[in-house]
Structure 1
Amino acid sequence: MKQEETWRWLELWERAQDHALSEDERQQLSHAMVHRPEVRQLIAQTSLLTAEVRTGRFREETTPPLPAPRVDNLRFSSRLARFLLPLAAAVVSAGAVWLLVREPAPVATLTKASDCKWGNSALPTLEGSHLQPGMLELLDGIATLKFASGAEVALEAPVTLELISAMECRVKKGTVVAEVPSQAKGFTIHTPDTKVVDYGTRFGVSAGDDGKCLVHVIEGLVEVERQGKAGRQELRAGQRVDYGGFLHSATYPDANNHEEQPEPGRWLPGPINDLGDGWQILTTAYGQGKDTWIQSDPKYHVSGRESYVRIKHSTHNTNLERKAYLGFDLSRFQGKRIAEAELTLHVEPSDLGFASLVPDAVFSIYGLTEESQDDWDEKTIRWETAPAHSEAQEHRVAPVASQARKLGELHIPQGTTRGAFTLKGDDLTEFLRHDSNGIVTFIVIRDTDEHARNGLVHAFASKENTRNTPPMLKVRVEE
């Protein structure tokens, strides 16, 4: 073996001990150790020499001449060499290659990954997979990680998360909810500019790759460090800190007061494409169309200019009920018979609440049959005065039965952050056929409750949304 080659194999072996090989180098060294006896002998002799040094049995005269460590000049204690050299070479040949391929111990397990869509993830994404340090990108759905420390972290799509160790992870962008038992006290979540240290609690972190970060404590205590700010800030249950403006002061009078904005903000992704399927398409942006929602919180004022229609059902906070109202201008179809119809709503990533606290959600869609109430105004509609609605408890999740009829349901899986959901069928078509004033109103209500406070507020694109299709009515008219 040439001197240059000898040094090359020794260098690769040394780097292999430190897990510093590239994949090509690892394969090259592994192949040589299996198929080239001279390389295997060199590695075995080098390993024995290292062992002698570490155990104090190394003799000065065994030092190989430099600069070229020829194999036949590497001398060992004779008794030790005669006994161990054949064994070492055999071990290297049969199994010592594991040093080249051994990987860090798993730091977490992917305990839940149903209905998930993954992006450019460097780690396995099958449910039950053991995960080593690395990156996960979740595009849709909710996935749950159980760290070896006992901490559980729910990933709410879209989110990119780096696993660092059993006690650390980093949110590159997106939202996670962590539940940390006492044995994992000190579990830490990093964002680009923020460090959140847990002390036995449940909390949510939403982060943008531009440095924005919102930390909201649901239970317990955390400490937050922010780059450029001195010291740590303690946060307890119900408290939060917002770096970068996730909260919307235009929506609530005091966005920094957690009593004024009960659901925490979230990171929002970029735009998605519009949809279309060739039917005659009518949206709430056409003619006298309109869309908005009502909320049971008397402090909340809907302007009618929001980019989302927000819907929620909560028995944990009576001020957080939300219903959506959608109005469509059907004047273009007057005098024509509607043969088929589909109502489509486009889910947007919500900027309020945590998806892991709301299960698969059922939404009921009603048609307003009391046409005298079709003249509602999206800028002035309120909880107290909305069509087919009263402040009675039963009307929080259903309209007044004599003024509206149920047309069907939409089922939206937990953690869904984007996509089109469509209602169709005879009930919808018949409702449209019976319109006599050129305007129809739909009322959308979420039947599904949240598991605990701070649950997700579902968001659907409105006609003011600039990156997604507003509520859309597809109609096929008979000739």
Structure 2
Amino acid sequence: MNDERLSQLIDSWRDDDLSEEQADELNQILRESEEARRKFSAESRFHGLLHCAAAEDAVQRVSELSAATLQTGSRTSRATSWPAWRMMLSAIAAGLFVAIGFQWWHWSSESGSVATLTSSENAAWESELPTTPGSELTPGVLSLRTGVATVRFHSGAEVIVEAPAQLQLISSMRGKLLSGAAVIDVPDSAIGFVIETPDGYAVDYGTRFAVRVDQQEQQSNFEILEGEIVVHHPSNGEELRLTGQGKAARVSAESVIAIDLQQQDDSPEPDLNVVRIDTQGRSSSAVRNNKRRKYIHPDFLSVKNTEGGKWDHRSYFDFDLSTVDLNQAGSARLRLNLVPSHLGFATRLPRINRFGIYGLTNPVKSNWSMTSLWEESPGPEDGVLLGTFEVPRSQQQGSFGIRNDELLDFLKQHQVDGSVTLILVRETTQIEGNVPGLTHMFASDSHPEYVGPMLEFVMTR
């Protein structure tokens, strides 16, 4: 099949400028090629060229015409109001349209689940959705911390995500790569699958392509591995069709542009390497006026601030930096995973809750233990404020933390025997009332589903 010739015939059909000879040629191609039928189906679907009533009428006319032709053995002339070739194409397209419509009805009738997590390779998660292979996934966000994971949408589209990345599941035919990289494989059953990014989106015509979201540069790159996609700019309406292996496009705030990968500068980029370290179990919490540590669970780091201070919670964690050359670190980030809490009521909190990260400077408190009581544990008065972050009271899951020069400078200057302690507190308190406000919970290293506190360094050399 000649792809260029097929495109010309479909364009003529769409513009109502198809001769009888061209119609016969297109009919022949559609009968012989599944790929051609797929492309014709996609064109008719996305340009709105079929209407159910017209299609049904066309099918009926084709039936009547076929019967008449069999009886008379004659060929209907092009002068009829509905030429035979057009009715034949409409009948073919109607069948494709009905099949697609049935699939859409099936997908839209699903009760919740839109995809399945089919595999997870050396993965660590920060996700609000289930992370066990085989789990059914409802709309939401998958946050892959390390490793590789495969998500198969119920339409048949398969998305292989490479960490660190965030993938938002919207429907069986739509996903959004919020960050990171992914390879998308779309079979015929999922033609029209849409993958969004913060910068644009691509509509798939049955293909394999790669997507990478560059948050720092605020742009997204799309590259064809095989097949065809159309890349769209959501703001200005620009679109770019990519066909064939190696074709690529970049979407930014301004435009969609084609990229010639063969003419890209082959000079090496700066050698960037991300180093991540966890607390290796060195994390704990303390509760004021609770000598028995009744409300402390090893899987959680609890944080609370009350008006009178009687039931305050705070958490602290230690990182061993002896394996990191901080002189080669260009930036540092602390990541924490908020997890659902079972203590108190979110309605007793302000709409926005502010949390503070402090670096321990008081040597007296540097010898804290996992079972330290409130008086023995490090608090904000024992250190310096390194940064804050905010959490809405309606949110009990997600990744939070700080990334700034103050954090990196503190880590470089305040190591004790190669380690450093950070302190987590909630700085806002609950609103008036005797009903207890929510105790926020963050994952520790022992949490069964979420990653505990983690420091990330971008190393340059």
Tell me the TM-score range normalised by the shorter chain: 0.3 to 0.5
Q: Calculate the TM-score normalised by the size of structure 1.
A: 0.38
Q: Calculate the TM-score normalised by the size of structure 2.
A: 0.40
> When you count strand as a share of all residues, which structure comes out higher?
2
Larger radius of gyration: 1
